[in-house]
Structure 1
Amino acid sequence: MSTSPSAAVRVLIVDDQSLIRLGFRMVLEAADGIEVVGEAGDGAEAIEATARLRPDVVLMDVRMPGVDGIEATATIARDHPGVRVLVLTTFDLDEYAFGALRAGAGGFLLKDAGRDELVAAVRAVAAGEATLAPRIVRRMIELVTAGQGADAAPPAATGSAGLDLLTSREQDVLQAMARGLTNTEIAEELFLGESTVKTHVGRILAKLPARDRVHAVLIAHGLASPWEHAAEGVQVDGGTRR
């Protein structure tokens, strides 16, 4: 769901502990340009509330009774491709991070993230930017490069599903995305205009095809399949999923 620059980011908070939901609500409601539109105590409630409230961002816990956060994320990503999911958990474990990202989450943060980091993550995910805890980015790179020799080709040059369609510059941008860089940081590193980077990102998403930046990185690393909904006419080049 796209938002205009002046519109508040609408957030649904999902966690099975009411005190944690209250804490998140207090932090987010104190931030400019963010509106908490509802709460849910488990994945089933999150799915229902998303359909009813149509938030821009769902702040999703992982471990919950009944329908957990991974399953709820997958359902929301499938049924409401315009809604972004930001997963938070106390568990710094690969299976939670990659499970959430494969399910369709637009970002992953640990619950010990600071107030400013949480607010920035919500805003970034709403804008279509990738948001990953630094530890998860490092672990992703470690998993991909494990066992590769110094002369091994980088993931974006392997010719896997759709990657051979990328230009050399698009591969450079994808590599930078894989390190968690924002459009501004990519522009500075590659000496490009930010609008040019945004165009490259849009083309990468369309060619793979990928749901968003995080999904593009997972595809490049062989950790996810191309987006099956891309053929259904969901906009990826020019929308908010960058």
Structure 2
Amino acid sequence: MSSTAPYPARIRVALVDDHALVRDGLRALLAAMPQLEVVGEAGSGAEALNLVSKIRPDLLLVDIGMKDMTGLQLTETLCRQYPGIQILILSMYDHPEYVTSSIRAGARGYVLKDAASREIVAAIDAIAAGGSYYSADLLRKMASPAAEDGELTPREREVLRMLAQGLSNKAIARALDISVRTVETHRLSIRRKLGVDTPAGLVKYALERGWLSP
């Protein structure tokens, strides 16, 4: 997924994983990407909190399983303390509940550790540009072909999908060639029909129906 929102020419990334070997591999991968700069790394939640307070990276790659706190707890804490920070969960766990929990915590994406290197880079680019990104394997697992989309019209479904990707009303209006007021009208209708309007709720709803694709 991607967005047209502007993002820094060079994305400052920090790595958070309690396995040094994993951090080494990620650092080597990202070093080959001219748009990315690895500015720090941490092996625990406490180290990550200290690191962010000092260098304020644009984006963190965070593992879920750590010794002192989970990556989800760390994500929730960081998003509360630094509202503008962007977090990509990089995990071996592919259970849908981890994905929805990461969304509630404030993460903007979730990629499996065995994903291709190009997918990890694509996720970073998408999140840095203001969107969201979820591993293709996870999307297939979470998709529910039998799920009903209620009374949503095709246009409302399209607007909901874009909202779930993190696009603003103005960006959606440009993409669909409609007015911002029309987008707002669709959004109000979606909220009325689904009872959902939070980013986490929209992403969860779209994920469960397989409407988001990388």
TM-score category, normalised to shorter length: 0.7 to 0.9
Matched, 1:64 2:66: yes
Alpha-carbon offset, residue 209 of structure 1: 5.2
Alpha-carbon offset, residue 18 of structure 1: 0.5
Matched, 1:172 2:174: no
> Which of 104, 107, 115 is the equivalent residue of 1:105?
107
Unaligned runs of 5+ in 2: 209-214
- What RMSD over aligned residues (CA atoms) do the two structures have, in Å? 3.6
Distance change >3 Å, CA 13–CA 199, structure 1 → 2? farther
Distance in 1 between the 2:174 and 2:15 partners? 36
CA contact (8 A) 1:29 1:36 kept: yes
- Show CA shifts across 1:34-73 (max 9, x none): 1111001112222222222211111000011011101001
CA contact (8 A) 1:173 1:197 kept: no
Q: What is the TM-score of this pair, normalised by structure 2? A: 0.73
Distance change >3 Å, CA 199–CA 12, structure 1 → 2? farther
Q: What is the TM-score of this pair, normalised by structure 1? A: 0.66
The percentage of aligned residue pairs carrying the same residue is 35
Distance in 1 between the 2:63 and 2:31 partners? 19
Which shows bigger deviation, 130-139 or 86-95? 130-139
Matched with 1:153 is 150
**Could you tell me which amino acid in structure 2 is paired with residue 172 of structure 1?**
E
Alpha-carbon offset, residue 79 of structure 1: 1.4
Matched with 1:87 is 89
- Alignment map for 1:129-148 (pairs within 5 Å): 129-142=131-144, 145=147, 148=148
Distance in 2 between the 1:123 and 1:198 partners? 27
Distance in 2 between the 1:41 and 1:142 partners? 36
Matched, 1:194 2:191: no
> Which of 14, 29, 32 is the equivalent residue of 1:30?
32
CA contact (8 A) 2:17 2:63 kept: yes
Alpha-carbon offset, residue 175 of structure 1: 3.9
Q: Which has the higher contact order (CA 8 A, sep 6+)?
A: 2
- Alignment map for 1:205-220 (pairs within 5 Å): 210-211=198-199, 216-218=202-204, 220=205
